[in-house]
Structure 1
Amino acid sequence: MFLPTTKNRLSKALAKQIKGQFTTDLSILLGKEDVLETIKTEEKEQFILRNNTPIFKVSGSTYIPLLKCVHIVPDILPKVVVDAGAIKYLINGADLMAPGLLHSTSTYPAVSVGDIVGIYGYGKINALGVGVVAMDNEEVNTQRTGIAIKIINRLGDKIYSYA
């Protein structure tokens, strides 16, 4: 369950540190009028909230954009496109398998294992999820089997539904 155990206001210095991690302009996301807080869950995960909505997961000194963050700032992450048949499995909680990816260079960007990506359905405007790349482009094209992207956050999960 996504239950916060502690909640603290976020300092301006930390907001500046988050902005420094990304090349995309985050002023719309981390504006002066927004209330930014950190929470820790029972599972010892840490998140940054904007107006009580989770927008980043904290992993060490790295800030991982969550789905609602990607909806506000779509260019914050590289975009990966999945075929229509993979969407229902993704929404139901499955990791993204290699056969579900569209493999042209326009739909599968040059990403490395460990990169964070936004996941979009073919023909869809908004992201369906955020995940960590488990296979690079070459592996996806040669193996065509196995988990290509491990899902961090998706439409309808406990993090997305918080607030």
Structure 2
Amino acid sequence: MSLFKSFSPQKGDISSSTAVKSSVQRGMRTKLLEQYPSLAKDDGVLLESIWPKKQGITLVKFSREHVSFLVYKGEALFFQHFDGPYLPTLHLLHKYPFLMPQIQVDRGAIKFLLSGANIMAPGLLTAGGRLPPDEEALPAGTAVAVMAQDKESALSIGVLKEGTQEIRKKGKGIVVDNLHCLGDDLWLACAKEAFKGR
């Protein structure tokens, strides 16, 4: 279920907002490059265009959702739930659509996805759904962009509960945790530039 169904940077939910020391920033950049190989291509040109190395970043923490954000010049770039992987906001993903691996749900799953529901295997396995081929299989725990049949931009960002080969084999159950989707409160906060001044 989406983390951001009752989330507002304006309602005093922020527990801290601090400039990140350069030594800590190096560790964050290294982790991002490991998680998203596309950021590392051409000596990290893509990461440099998103977050220039010589520029500072702010870490904004929300205690209620146990989520923190990397904010650059008032724009939330990535979020992290507890100590999980860094995940891009959908606004960032729409600018850089090949940042993360993609899966696709069929048309019938769209309304459930946009209501914040987790993703069931059948929505990925019907004619309109798509998983990567077995030679490009993704393991459980992989962060993915969730595309939808006949739509151009990602509708959601999630984490695989099972590997893609296992999803194909079993064919049932909840297989992707839907963490951030179009229309949720994080999407609206980013659209309203609610992180400005952070």
State TM-score, norm by structure 1: 0.84
Aligned partner of 2:30 among 17, 25, 39: 17
2:122 aligned with 1:99: yes
Task: Specify the alignment match of 2:175 in structure 1.
Answer: 148
Letter in 2 for 1:23: P
For residues 29-77 of structure 1, give each alpha carbon's deviation from its aligned partner in whole angstroms, at most 9, with x where no partner exists. 1136977321111323211123333221234374222322211221111
1:27 maps to which residue? 48
Inter-partner Cα distance in structure 2 for 1:160 and 1:52 = 14
Structure with more contact order per residue of length (Cα contacts < 8 Å, sep ≥ 6): 2
Indicate the structure with greater helix content: 2
Which residue in the other structure is 1:6 paired with?
16
Describe the SS at the equivalent of 1:127.
coil
- Change over 3 Å in CA distance of 1:122–1:18 after alignment to 2: same
RMSD: 2.5
Bigger radius of gyration among the two: 2
Contact 2:102 2:147 in 1 (8 A): yes
Q: How many correspondences in the alignment?
A: 162
Evaluate the alpha carbon distance shift between residue 84 and residue 57 of structure 1 in structure 2; reply closer, same or farther with a 3 A threshold: same
Between the two proteins, what is the percent identity of the paired residues? 26
TM-score (norm 2): 0.71
Greater strand percent: which structure?
Answer: 1
* Matched residue SS, 2:38: coil
Unaligned runs of 5+ in 2: 1-6, 40-46
